[in-house]
Structure formats: structure tokens, C-alpha cells
Amino acid sequence: MTAPAIAPRAPNPGDGPAPRPGAPRMLTGDRPTGRLHLGHYAGSLANRIRLHRRYESFFIIADLHMLTTKNSPGEIAEVGRYAAEMVLDSLAAGLDPAHSVFYLQSAVPEVAELSLLLSSLVTVPRLQRIPSLKEMGQHAGQREMPLALLGYPVLQAADILAVQAAAVPVGRDNAPHVEVAREMARRFNHRYGQVFAVPALVPADVPVLPGTDGKAKMSKSLGNAIYLSDPPDEVAAKVRRMYTDPARTATGVPGTVEGNAVFVYHDAFNDRPAEVADLKERYRAGKVGDAEVKEKLAAALDRFLDPIRACRAALEADQGLVEELIVTGSARTRREVKRTLADMRAAMGLTVALAGFRRAARARRDVRGSG
């Protein structure tokens, strides 16, 4: 992975999203639990930047999904700040607002009804077979699975189908969730009539970036992350603390490159492959110290992050920009979801009973009025 060319320009949200007429839709997003880090970039953001101009792209700020594992009053109170930070990071990294619709999930309450209507199309055993749900619960310290977490894939399917997304880019962990959405779309169409496009899973061979501790993937909650918004001195400090080869006790001892977190980062973000190859060769031969390897990694990360930092500063200077994008994006998404929900209710016949009651009530009023 080499550093992308990111122009630090401040977009104009007044123009609004400008998708190509008839372009297929893409949906993806994140839970608003904090700023984005290098793990997010490697695992999802780089792929979104690559794909988003090909589609009418919807990016969900999934605050309802956050409630499955983080639902204290204090955590909910942080949603607004974290949502703005996420959008700011995404724009600074290269998402074009003219091709992106950012929206707050809880600002589209119709998705909850859509999720309820879809829930009859999947069984509990089917949901229990999704391995990532148990992992999410365990990571959140939950001994028993809440109903909301078990229904996470159903709400995710509602998100996807509500905007009639044709493509959902995901990594390996989330692929089973999208498959549930595909199954639900097919079942609904077969039972009630064609309403939903069956979304295509766009697989992303995304790398799992280890944390700076070298022991787990990069994570906000584990405190082992380098953020896209970190200043150079903070990046340098985090890189200096990174774990390398534990068996290497001195500079003259040959070291292992494979699985070494510092070299994983070099491979992912250093835009000077000859420098990386030289460092690996000398490291294996015991001819370079960890200090030099880390110093050059910090310099490479700064070359990668500097354009993002510059763009972020320009975006932050335009006060209210990010908030306006979220407000307009949420309003637009809600209009789309209302149309989908109306089509869904009509196909299921849920509008028939009330229409009959209204006709009967109207006839009764007419008779009484003529008497």
C-alpha cells in the first residue's frame, strides 16, 4: 500500500451529493465510537475511497448498532462528537462529499420498522451461527447475548435494503452479515413480490493491522492505535513504544521480519519500497537496530498522514461543514427509506386493512350525514 495523493481542499456541501443518474448504490459505515485510526484505513477506508465514486454512496453512522454493546448514558452522550470526528476523518482521508451521503442511523426511525418487518424472515438458529456476534459480545464483556446483539444482522440488513444498496463492501468478518441481508431480500421478494434488489457482497481482501503492542489488532478500546489525526510527535512516541522481535536482545542479533509489527506497518504505509527492502535485509542479518527501523517508520507514517492532517485542518476551519453534511445526508436518506418502507408495506398487504377501515368509516359518515 502506498500513500494516496490527497488534495487538502475544503468541499462545498451546498452543492449536495451529485451521483451519476442511475448509478447503483453502495452502503457501508461504522459505529460512532471514536476517531478513525490506521487500522480503519487499512481495513475499510482505503477500499471505500477506491470505490465510492463508482456508486451513489451512502455512509451510515451506525449509532443504533452501537447500542448493542455500548449503551450507557455517557457513551450515548458522545455520539455527536464521535460522529463528527468520523466524518471529518473520512473526508480528510479522501472521501468526496459530492459522491457521499453521510447519515445518522437514529435520524431515520423508519429503519426500525423495516427491521421489525424483516425479522420474520430469519430464524434464531440462523443468527446464532454467525461467529462474529459471540466475539462482539465477549469483547464487550457480556456474559450473555442481548437480544439487540442477536438481532444486529437483521438491523444491518434493514440498513442495506432500506436504501436499495446494490453493493456492500466488507471484510471477511462481516461477510456473514451481508449474506443474511441477501437471504432476506430473496425471501421477501419470493413471498410478497419484487421490492428489494439483492445486494452484492463486494469482498475486500483487507489486511488486519496489528496494534502498536503487536499482540492484537489495532483497537481504540485496547489503547494500541495510531490515529489519522495524531500529530507527528505523538506518532513518533507511539512508534518508539512499538513491540518488535522479542527474541532479539541486541542490535547484532539477527531478527525476524515476518509477523514483526514494525515491518507490517512498513509494508502497509512506507512509500519507499527500496528502503523497506534494505531495512529487512539488514534486520535479518543483525546489522540495523530497532531505533533506526522505528525512526524510518515514523517518517514514513508522517509522509502518509501529512496530507490527511492538512486536509483535516482545512475542513475543521469551515465550522459547521461536517454537521451540515450529516443533517442533509440524514434528511435525504430518510426520504429514500420512506419510499422503500411504503413499497414494502404495500407488497405485504399491510395497507389493505386500514384502507378498508377508512372506506367503511367514510361510508358511515356519509350515511349519517345524509340522514
pLDDT tens digit string along 54-98? 999 999 999 999 998 888 999 999 999 999 999 999 999 999 999
pLDDT class of 357 with cuts at 50, 70, 90 = very high
Q: Is the dihedral of CA 141, 147, 152, 155 positive or negative?
A: negative
SS3 state at 78: coil
pLDDT tens per residue across span 144-164? 778 888 899 999 999 999 999
Cα Rg of the chain (Å, integer): 24
Q: What is the pLDDT of residues 197-211, one digit of tens each?
A: 999 988 766 667 889
Largest CA distance in the chain: 106
Beta strand extents in the chain (DSSP E only): 25-30, 56-61, 100-104, 167-170, 200-203
Query: In 10 A of CB 327, how many CB atoms?
Result: 16
Mean pLDDT of 339-357: 95
Please compute the mean of the pLDDT values over residues 298-318 and round it to a whole number. Answer: 96
Give the three cell numbers for residue 227.
Answer: 490515529
CA dihedral 347, 348, 353, 356 (to 10 degrees): 20
- Residue 342's nearest CA partner among 183, 113, 156 is 113
Q: pLDDT, tens digit, for every residue of 22-34?
A: 789 999 999 999 8
Q: What gap in Å lies between CA 155 and CA 159, rounded to an integer?
A: 6
Check: CB of residue 102 under 8 Å from CB of residue 61: yes
Whether residue 12 has pLDDT greater than 50: no
The predicted structure's pLDDT at residue 337? 97
Whether pLDDT at 321 is above 50: yes
Categorize the per-residue pLDDT at 333 as very low, low, confident or very high, splitting at 50, 70 and 90.
Answer: very high
Average pLDDT, the chain: 89
DSSP-derived letter for residue 33 is S
- Of 304 and 138, the one with more pLDDT: 304
